[in-house]
Structure 1
C-alpha cells in the first residue's frame, strides 16, 4: 500500500520592488533560469495611489511568450495591433499568446480600492516561438470554483482537484504553455485546502496575509516553490490569499532581453532587428 505525500517547500523567494511601463510600480518575481519553468515572471501591481500606476503600459512589443493578466481590483484596457480592444475588471483575466510578435498596450482603471492586478509570463516552447499571435478575454463568471473548509479556489486555467471535499474543476484557459495551470486561492480565518497536485513544477505566491504551506509559514510578497509529492496542503490562521502556478518545464535554454524571450542569442538579435525594421509581427 502506498501513501500520498505532501509536497514540501524547498525554497522561498521575496518579491522585489521594480518599475515598468510608464513608471508603474510593481512587486516582481522573475526567474529566467528555469526555477519556475514554464513560468518566467510574476508581477504584482497593487496600490491605492494613482501616481504609482496611472501611466500604464503604452504600446510595446512581445515575442516568444504568453502573458496572463488577472485583476483583483480596478481594471485594465487592452489594445493590440491585431485589432483587439477590451477591458477587464475585478475577477476577469486576459491571455495573450504573443508567438512571432504582437504590439499591445494596457492602461489602468481604478475602483474605490485602487488597482490590484497580476501579470504572469510563460515561456513558449521553441517550436511555438514563431507561431501566430492570439488573444482571449476570460470573464469572472467563466471561472469555476472549489469551495469547502473555509477556502475558495478560483480556477483560471488547468485542472484542480480538492480532496476535502472531493471535487474537481478545470479552468477555462486550456492552452497555457507547458501544460500550465493557475488558480487564485482565498482562505478565511482557520481555512484549509488540500489539493491533489503532481505537476513537476509547483509554486505558490502569497499576496495577502500568512499562509501555511505544509509545515512552513509564508508571508505576503513571497513565492514558495514546492518539492516532489502528490498533495498540496494549505491553511491559514488569520486568512490569506495566493496564486498557485503549476506546469511542466520546457527545459530549454532561454535568451531574454526586455519583452523578447527566445532560445538563442541569434534568435533574440533577429527579434530586435525585426522590431526595428517593422517586421516583428510578420
Structure 2
C-alpha cells in the first residue's frame, strides 16, 4: 500500500518498564515529564492474574496539578476521596479525576475471572488550572460511543474521533486537559482502521498483539509517538488492542515530584508545605 504524504508515521518508540507503586502494586510504566507527549505525562498498565501483584492497592495519597484517567479492561477499581466520592468501576468503565489544587484519594483493585487489567494516564493541567477546584466523575461502558467496521472497533472515552468517510463519535469525557482524547481500539486478524488525525500530539500504546503503522511494527508494551499528519492507518495481521492518546501541548515548564506536577520548583515546595501543614485541600 502506498504511503500518503499526510499519513502519520512513527517518530519515536517508548517501551514500558516494570515498576511498583502504592502498596507494592506491580505495573508497567511509561513516564515522560519532559514534554515529549504533552499534555500526557505518564501511562501505567496494571495487568496480572496473581492477586499478590496488586492486592495492596493504592492507600490514601495526595495529588496536585494533574488529571488522572483510569480505564479498566478486566477486574475493577474502587475510588474514595476526601470530597466524599466513593465509586467502583469494572470492565469497560473509566474514572476521571481533576486534582486541581489538591485531592487525597485511594484506589483499591478488584478482580474478576480474568484477574486485573487496567490503565491509568496522567494529563498535565495548564498553569491557569493547577490551583482550581478538584472534580471527579466516572463513566460507564455503555456511555462510550463506538466506531466499527468488519474487523475493527474504536471505543471513545474522550475526545472526537472520525473516519475519512465522515463517521464520527465523541467520548463522554469532554474536559480532558489539553483538549485531550483517549480511545480503546480492537483489531481482529487482518483488521484495519483509518482515522482522521488532526491533534498535534498523537500516540498509540499497544497492549495486546502487534500493530503496523505505515509499514513499521509496534509491539505490546510499546508506545509510538507519531509524526504530524492528517490521517492515521492502524493495521494488524494477527490482531491487536491499543490505546490512542491525543491532545494539544501546553508548552509550559514541568516540575515534578512524586504525586505533584507544577510549573516550578517553588510551586512543588509549596505543595509539600501545604500537605504537611494540613492546608493542601483548602
TM-score (norm 1): 0.98
Match of 1:72 in 2: 73
SS in 1 for 2:281: coil
Partner of 1:244: 244
Q: Which residue of 2 aligns with 1:34?
A: 35
Q: CA deviation at 1:173?
A: 0.4
CA offsets, 1:80-125, max 9 Å, x none? 0000001000000000000000000000100010000000000000
Residues 15 and 222, structure 1, Cα contact 8 Å, conserved in 2 = yes
Unaligned runs of 5+ residues in structure 1 are none
Write the distance in 2 (CA, Å) between the matches of 1:166 and 1:220. 30
* 2: CA distance, partners of 1:40 / 1:10: 18
Aligned to 1:222: 222
Distance in 2, Cα, partners of 1:18 & 1:257 = 17
Deviation at 1:213, TM superposition (A): 1.4
Q: 3-state SS of the aligned residue for 1:91?
A: coil
Query: What is the correspondence of 1:131-280 to structure 2 with a 5 Å cutoff?
Result: 131-163=132-164, 165-280=165-280
8 Å Cα contact 1:149/1:193 also seen in 2 = no
**Alpha-carbon spacing, 1:97–1:68, altered in 2? closer, same or farther (3 Å):** same
Deviations 1:50-80 (A, max 9, x none): 0000000000000000000000000000000
Question: Any conservation in 2 of the 1:4–1:231 contact (CA below 8 Å)?
Answer: no
Structure 1 residue 5: deviation in Å?
Answer: 1.2
Please give the TM-score of this superposition, normalised by the length of structure 2.
0.98
CA distance in 1, matches of 2:190, 2:163: 17
Q: CA deviation at 1:262?
A: 0.3
Q: Structure 1 residue 4: deviation in Å?
A: 6.4
Q: What runs of 5+ residues in structure 2 fail to find an aligned partner?
A: none
Deviation (angstroms), 1:166:
3.5
Partner of 1:166, secondary structure, is coil
3-state secondary structure, aligned to 2:163:
strand
Question: 4+ runs of 1 displaced by more than 2 Å?
Answer: none
Pairing of 1:97-108 with structure 2 (within 5 A):
97-108=98-109
Distance 2:19 2:273 in 1: 27
- Whole-angstrom distance in 1 between the partners of 2:279 and 2:180: 29
* Equivalences, count: 279
| CA positional deviation for 1:38 | 0.2
What is the distance in 1 between the residues matched to 2:5 and 2:159?
21
